[in-house]
């Protein structure tokens, strides 16, 4: 398991970052776009594990989704879903599994919906029971009340739904978003509603898609619009959940940090962290699509986290530095997140020699006795927010270490780079190279560039480096000097570039034939094999007249099939990840590679 070491900021800094789009708004927009009968373009979306989980589920249903650098085009809709069997995996995304469950009840087919690891332990029973009230046929395939689920219904009947609001606002959001697709449905909420602002966000997104909802005190909901969703474009605002870590860092280190791409009038509940930071003694200034926090330190606070529980870990870390007693209440949803976040915070603060007291009542609370925390090696429990919250401590406290740092990719893959840009030393965060291997014509050059753009990392094409080194194109190198000379230059270049990190590298089809080349690249690389069929390769190579022949075979067809048989053995042996490219668009191949990289925690 990887561990990174953090070195603190020596003194307060003046910095600026541009925060990515909101995960909550992105996943809502994706679902609503799939419910819209015409194409929808989503601008400034968050590209993360959770949003890709949603995209992947939509694609599994046959809905065409095209992911670009700073936009997502949902070209298809639920009208494209066929009456067949589907198996959908929400991976670790709670929003995805809950939102998609509601959608699966109104589309054809027999559907299995599941998650991974901890997600299958998170409750979903109240949403299942609510959907059953409208005629949904849903069965538990494992423990009652938890995924995986079998969904057999393809439409829902009219009626009123009764559901508890005390477990998760995502249940209400899921029901609201599919309600225009139900003849007539009302939602009645029992008990006290948690995380109310997230419901406001859902209603706000629906309004942008031209469907209005009447919210009667979070107790009753009624549609005021007819005709379904109509938006063609949706712009995602910046994510306050991610911005919170940098505002906290500014407060703790007495820095002045401006976060751009934020809506000062946002409905996002995590915006409330700014009020708490003001109570801690800091100054907040609002600009146009930007917010600046002037850090002046931290002092003990008492805060009700009911509406913004995702900031609880961050504020708990700050409270550890505030001399005196702080109380965070309204933590009842924390034990039901990616991990038991409440217990995880207690465990890690204890390592930092910070005393805490947990109160288990209807509204869980945590008392923190702060003052002089000690550095520790922090376990993240597979939880992105644990990693990012405790990283804030590393901006102040020398010796902090974070285990399993790649978990941040769930919502904020560039977090460590953003942190480093503000002066925090991040040691050991360098990622391995991603090495694309496969036959000539499998798409390595095209895919490598797109993949690097998506991951926002460097890109190299070995064949281009060879032509630059030789001062000739590949055809002339081989004609004038032969294949051995070409392979020697290739080996020389590979020996240099394997020392790089965080780079997508496109290799030539025969680069790994020399064992030393493969060995060098493997030392700091993840091999991704682009697997293309012989027919596809023959078709593509017939168009590559500028490339020299590789054998003495009479036809390209013969040449490809002979080489493929030999080289596929090597490719498959080396591959950490294999992706079939036949019949797929380049952007879909990139999506699949990213998903598989994240499944391997890369």
3-state SS, residue 223: strand
**Is 24 assigned a ligand-binding role in the annotation?**
yes
Q: Which own/partner contact pairs does 62-70 have at CB distance under 8 Å and 24+ positions apart?
A: 63/34, 65/30, 66/585, 66/587, 67/454, 67/587, 67/590, 67/591, 68/587, 69/453, 69/454, 70/43, 70/44, 70/45
Residue with tokens 């939102």: 99
Residue with tokens 């399993």: 404
**Is 508 assigned a ligand-binding role in the annotation?**
no
Phi and psi at residue 253, in whole multiples of 5°? -100, 5
The number of beta carbons lying within 10 Å of the beta carbon of residue 177 is 25
461 is known as an active-site residue: no
From 50, 270, 307, 310, the catalytic residue: 310
Give strand ranges (E) for 44-129. Answer: 65-67, 71-74, 85-89, 110-114
**Is 443 assigned a ligand-binding role in the annotation?**
yes
**Is 41 assigned a ligand-binding role in the annotation?**
no
**Is 444 assigned a ligand-binding role in the annotation?**
yes
**Is 585 assigned a ligand-binding role in the annotation?**
no
**Is 87 assigned a ligand-binding role in the annotation?**
no
Which one, of 231, 237, 186, 234, lies nearest residue 211 by Cα? 231
In terms of Cβ atoms closer than 10 Å to its own Cβ (0-12, 13-18, 19+), residue 35 is buried
Beta pairing partners, 506: 436, 461
**Is 170 assigned a ligand-binding role in the annotation?**
yes
**Is 445 assigned a ligand-binding role in the annotation?**
yes
Residue with tokens 């390592």: 351
**Is 567 assigned a ligand-binding role in the annotation?**
yes
Neighbouring C-alpha atoms within 13 Å toward the C-beta of 293: 33
Which one, of 46, 12, 488, lies nearest residue 249 by Cα? 12
**Is 410 assigned a ligand-binding role in the annotation?**
yes
Tokens at residue 38, please?
């015409």
Q: What is the CA radius of gyration of the chain?
A: 26
End-to-end CA distance of the chain: 11
In terms of Cβ atoms closer than 10 Å to its own Cβ (0-12, 13-18, 19+), residue 197 is buried
**Is 487 assigned a ligand-binding role in the annotation?**
yes
Q: What is the C-alpha to C-alpha distance for residues 400 and 38, in angstroms, rounded to an integer?
A: 50
Q: What is the C-alpha to C-alpha distance for residues 252 and 391, in angstroms, rounded to an integer?
A: 12
The answer to whether 266 and 237 have CB atoms below 8 angstroms apart is yes
**Is 10 assigned a ligand-binding role in the annotation?**
no
**Is 164 assigned a ligand-binding role in the annotation?**
no
Residue with tokens 């048989």: 565
Q: What is the C-alpha to C-alpha distance for residues 237 and 527, in angstroms, rounded to an integer?
A: 35
What is the DSSP secondary structure assignment for residue 339, as one 8-state letter? S
The number of beta carbons lying within 10 Å of the beta carbon of residue 535 is 12
**Is 383 assigned a ligand-binding role in the annotation?**
no
What is the total residue count of the chain?
A: 602
The answer to whether 114 and 151 have CB atoms below 8 angstroms apart is no
Tokens at residue 104, please?
């699966």
> Which positions make up the binding site for phosphoenolpyruvate?
23, 94, 122, 170, 341, 385, 410
Q: Residues with catalytic annotation?
A: 310
> Which positions make up the binding site for Mg(2+)?
445
> Which positions make up the binding site for 3-phosphoshikimate?
23-24, 28, 168-170, 195, 310, 337
> Which positions make up the binding site for ATP?
441-446
> Which positions make up the binding site for substrate?
463, 487, 509, 567
> Which positions make up the binding site?
23-24, 28, 94, 122, 168-170, 195, 310, 337, 341, 385, 410, 441-446, 463, 487, 509, 567
């Amino acid at each position: 398991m990887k561990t990174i070491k953090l070195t603190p900021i020596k003194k307060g800094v003046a910095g600026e970052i541009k925060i990515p789009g909101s995960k909550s708004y992105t996943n809502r927009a994706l679902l609503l776009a799939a419910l819209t009968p015409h194409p929808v373009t989503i601008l400034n979306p968050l590209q993360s594990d959770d949003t890709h989980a949603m995209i992947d589920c939509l694609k599994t249903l046959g809905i065409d989704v095209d992911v670009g650098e700073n936009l997502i085009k949902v070209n298809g809709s639920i009208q494209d879903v066929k009456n067949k069997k589907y198996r959908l995996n929400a991976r670790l995304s709670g929003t995805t599994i809950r939102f998609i469950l509601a959608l699966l009840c109104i589309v054809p087919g027999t559907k299995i919906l599941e998650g991974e690891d901890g997600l299958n332990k998170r409750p979903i029973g109240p949403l299942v029971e609510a959907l059953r009230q409208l005629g949904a046929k849903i069965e538990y395939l494992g423990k009652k009340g938890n995924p995986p689920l079998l969904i057999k219904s393809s439409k829902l009947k009219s009626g009123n739904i009764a559901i508890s609001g005390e477990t998760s606002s995502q249940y209400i959001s899921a029901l609201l978003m599919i309600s225009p697709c139900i003849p007539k449905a009302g939602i009645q909420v029992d008990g006290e509603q948690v995380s109310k602002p997230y419901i406001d966000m859902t209603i706000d997104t629906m309004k942008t898609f031209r469907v209005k909802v009447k919210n009667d005190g979070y107790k009753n909901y009624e549609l005021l619009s007819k005709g379904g969703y109509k938006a063609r474009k949706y712009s995602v605002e910046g994510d306050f959940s991610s911005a919170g870590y940098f505002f906290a860092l500014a407060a703790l280190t007495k820095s002045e940090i401006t976060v751009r791409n934020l809506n000062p009038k946002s409905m996002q509940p995590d915006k409330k962290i700014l009020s708490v930071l003001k109570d801690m003694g800091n100054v907040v200034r609002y600009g146009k699509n930007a917010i600046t926090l002037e850090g002046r330190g931290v002092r003990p606070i008492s805060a009700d986290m009911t509406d913004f529980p995702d900031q609880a870990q961050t504020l708990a870390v700050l409270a550890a530095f505030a001399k005196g007693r702080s109380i965070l209440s309204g933590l009842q949803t924390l034990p039901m997140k990616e991990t038991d976040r409440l217990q995880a915070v207690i465990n890690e603060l204890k390592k930092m020699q910070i005393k805490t007291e947990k109160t288990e009542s209807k509204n869980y609370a945590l008392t923190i006795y702060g003052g002089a925390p000690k550095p520790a090696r922090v376990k993240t429990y597979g939880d992105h927010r644990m990693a990012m919250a405790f990283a804030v401590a590393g901006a102040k406290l020398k010796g902090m270490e974070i285990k399993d740092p790649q978990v941040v990719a769930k919502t904020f893959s560039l977090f460590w780079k953003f942190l480093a840009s503000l002066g925090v030393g991040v040691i050991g965060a360098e990622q391995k190279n991603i090495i694309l291997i496969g036959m000539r014509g499998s798409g390595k050059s095209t895919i490598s560039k797109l993949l690097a753009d998506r991951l926002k990392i460097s890109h190299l094409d070995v064949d281009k480096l060879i032509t630059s080194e030789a001062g000739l194109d590949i055809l002339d190198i081989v004609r004038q000097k032969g294949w051995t000379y070409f392979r020697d230059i290739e080996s020389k270049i590979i020996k240099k570039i394997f020392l790089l990190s965080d780079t997508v590298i496109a290799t030539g089809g025969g680069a790994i034939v020399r064992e030393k080349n493969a060995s060098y690249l493997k030392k700091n690389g993840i091999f991704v094999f682009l697997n293309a069929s012989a027919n596809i390769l023959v078709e593509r190579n017939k168009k590559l007249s500028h490339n020299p022949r590789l054998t003495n075979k009479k036809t390209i067809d013969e040449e490809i099939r002979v080489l493929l048989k030999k080289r596929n053995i090597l490719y498959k042996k080396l591959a950490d990840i294999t992706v079939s490219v036949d019949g797929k668009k380049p952007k879909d191949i990139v999506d699949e590679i990213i998903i598989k990289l994240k499944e391997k925690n890369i």
